[in-house]
Structures are given as structure tokens and as C-alpha cells.
Amino acid sequence: MDRGESRHDNSANDYEGALRRAARFSGSAIDATVFVVEHPDVVARTADGAGLSSLFVSPDGEIYVIRPHTHAVTAAAILRESGEPIRPVDAVDRLTVRSGILRAQLYGKRGIGVCVNLDRLPTQAQLDALAQLAATTDNSRFAAEFTLKGTVVFWEASFQKMLARIETETLGLQQ
């Protein structure tokens, strides 16, 4: 399957409309960073004192800020609203496969995290938005979790290594 290609009937607009209604904010990476700073209620404090904000990134690169630690519940609500009842445990993975919307986190000024689903690789617009988001941080913290059919298969600890792994996976799909 090519990057961003869908094999499902619901349009990305159905999912994004539901996500827009569930999100506290939607916009560019820079505007999302400003929103997080100005709205501490969307930031969960971690054990090391860093902030963590929960995000989704649409295939066109729009950033959605949701309530902290609610990726699974929010994804399940979006799927249900789009006519697909599902348990929260499967929701984030299924939302990505069906819509291309991917899960991400902003670790305050320290960096970002992202979940890359090998069943549906990120679009260039998503990668660009993530790069912009990362540029708003000092990049001292980065995590890319790669999943395949709902199972974590490997991790990358730098943005550049994540991009290289995605490129390798893309080339593998084209063969």
C-alpha cells in the first residue's frame, strides 16, 4: 500500500470532522505549540516535571490537541461517530489505518513522540508538520514507536532515524 492510500470507505473528512469536534484545538504545528503553552489544562505533568500534550496529526498535516492521555478514548469516539463501533484498546491503530490520522505527543520544550503505523505510513504533509513541531523544541527527547497490525515492532530515538526507517519501509512497499 502506498503512503496515505486508504482501502476503507469512509472519507478522511468524516474522521477529521469527528476529530475536530473532539479536539481542544486544531491548526499548524507552531499554533498548536502556542496553544499548549497558553492552555495548561491540555498538559499533563510527567514524573520528570516535563509537560506532555496529546496530539493527532491529520494526513494534510493539521495538528489536533486533545485532552492529555486520551488518545484511545478519543480515537474510539471518532470511530463510533463515523459508524464503526470499537473498543478503545484497538482504536488508535484502527483510526490510523482507516483515516491516516496519526498519534503524537509534545513533550513540552523537550521534544516529540510519534506512532508510525506500518500498515499506513505517514504522508509527507504529516512528516513536515512533525518536523515543524520538533523545531519548536530543543529535541532532547524523541521517540518513534513503529507498529504493524497493532503490535509495536521497533522504536527509533531520533527524528532522522525515523525518517530513514519510513523511507526504507516506503521502498519496500514499492517493490
CA–CA dist 123, 28 (Å, integer): 15
- How remote is the C-alpha of 146 from its chain's centroid? 12
Q: Calculate mean pLDDT across residues 120-141.
A: 94
Is the predicted pLDDT of residue 98 greater than 50, yes or no?
A: yes
CA-CA-CA-CA torsion sign (8, 25, 56, 131): positive
Instruction: Give this prediction's pTM.
Output: 0.86
Find the angle CA(152)-CA(36)-CA(155) to the nearest 5 degrees.
Answer: 15
Q: Cell for 15? A: 474522521
Model confidence over 25-45: pLDDT tens digits? 999 999 999 999 899 889 887
pLDDT-derived band of residue 52, with 50, 70 and 90 as boundaries?
A: confident
